[in-house]
Structure 1
Amino acid sequence: MARSKTSKAWLQEHVNDHFVHRAKAEGWRSRASFKLLEIDDKDKLLKPGEVVVDLGAAPGGWCQVAVQRVGEGGKVFAIDLLEMQGIAGVDFMQGDFREESVLREFESRLAGRQVGLVLSDMAPNISGVNVSDQARSIYLCELALEFAREHLKPDGAFLVKVFQGSGFNEFLAAMRETFEVVATRKPKSSRDRSPELYLLGRRLKHGGSV
């Protein structure tokens, strides 16, 4: 079957992408690493010794950044529906975050640790039906926010990828109900045409995990 004009354009853009080439040259698993690097350089989220959770971790670009910056005293817990090659210092679990049994097993790995930073770069498999794709994306954001509410320490932070569209304003309101400070971030490595942006919540309003 012949490729569509859209897929050809994406492939051409990917081949010529500056950040794709940089990722290969510098040993990052994906161009997404540069998004977290830029945000962390600005907001200082990844502190030495910190416990970090990475939701939707594969192929591991964000885990690479996180484990490097929290150092040997820190710990990164990661989960994805897809398989991910191991990274030293990362406790990875393959499973569907939406399933209760998988979530409980993942939570058990935390062993009661309070989390300093929850990262979510989760996105649904794209069907091409915008209304459906957006609804599934917001649902993943809501699940990640619920996880952050339950496991973050009071002064912790939550960084989540959100696609602008239906449900975005409601999710932003939920973020503002949860955190004292909510900011938006659009890293340079996020493609201009992409409706994605990142919401950063800091300091839980109601005390955090117990």
Structure 2
Amino acid sequence: MREHINDPYVKLAKAQGYRSRAAFKLAEIDERDHLLRNGALVVDLGATPGGWSQLAMRKGAQVIAMDILEMDSIPGVTFIQGDFTEQATLEQLALALNNRKVDLVISDMAPNMSGVATADQARSMYLCELALEFASAYLKPNGQFLVKVFQGEGFQEYVKLMRDVFEQVLTRKPKASRDRSSEVYLLCKNLRPSVTPA
């Protein structure tokens, strides 16, 4: 708790009106890779409490956000509360997209941690795989996919899967990500032609 209170990014988030310190992870990656732009259609998976959606909105993006938990509304953001592992939630997302292709899929999803490391890692990787499936189905050919991944069992296999789907896979570890955390962010660019529908 003391670490959280004294965290400079927590203080910065309060000062700048962001709901979470995670906004600065996305902000740093965006500064380097120019993900967010005015008018872009962005899907934010695992959005609660809303820091990433806030940042995307401030950059002028159109945002559809999803989380299993409730999220206080953000003006201009379409929010869907649901379990991403369930078909009904995917159908709600598809309905909200209304046949539009997406410029950017961002995923900060993580399972509720049980404390059993192997089980938590497996559940986390499963969410990442579902996010990759979603991105490959809904992104524009030149769209981008940013996902939080915990390094551990299944990580290398997941990167290989990504390389089958995207032409470019980059690793990002923003300063706002705590050093002791095994999380990294993988940024994928340009769907391979075999993935892009004709």
Which bin holds the TM-score, normalised by the shorter protein?
Answer: over 0.9
> Structure 1: which 4+ aligned runs deviate by more than 6 Å?
none
Root mean square deviation, CA, Å = 1.0
Identity of aligned residues (%): 59
- Give the match's secondary structure for 2:170: strand
| Cα deviation digits, residues 145-196 of structure 1 (max 9, x gap) | 0000000000000000000000000000011111111100000000000000
Give the structure 1 partner of residue 119 of structure 2: 132
Give the structure 2 partner of residue 191 of structure 1: 178
| Residue 19 in structure 1 maps to residue 16 in structure 2 | no
Give the structure 1 partner of residue 49 of structure 2: 59
Quick one: distance in 2 between partners of 1:127 and 1:23? 28
| Residue 145 in structure 1 maps to residue 135 in structure 2 | no
Structure 2 counterpart of 1:172, from 154, 159, 180:
159
TM-score by length of 2: 0.97
Quick one: distance in 2 between partners of 1:14 and 1:59? 16
| Cα deviation digits, residues 55-114 of structure 1 (max 9, x gap) | 000000000011111x2xx41001000000111121001111110112112211100111
Structure 1 residue 208, shift from structure 2 partner: 3.0
- Give the match's secondary structure for 2:171: strand
Give the structure 2 partner of residue 111 of structure 1: 98
Structure 1 residue 209, shift from structure 2 partner: 5.3
- Give the match's secondary structure for 1:97: coil
Retained in 2: the 8 A contact 1:149–1:209?
no
How many residues are treated as equivalent by the alignment? 197
- Give the match's secondary structure for 2:125: helix
Quick one: distance in 2 between partners of 1:46 and 1:67? 9
Structure 2: which 5+ runs fail to align?
none
Structure 1: which 5+ runs fail to align?
1-10
TM-score by length of 1: 0.92
Quick one: distance in 2 between partners of 1:105 and 1:198? 26
Give the structure 2 partner of residue 6 of structure 1: none
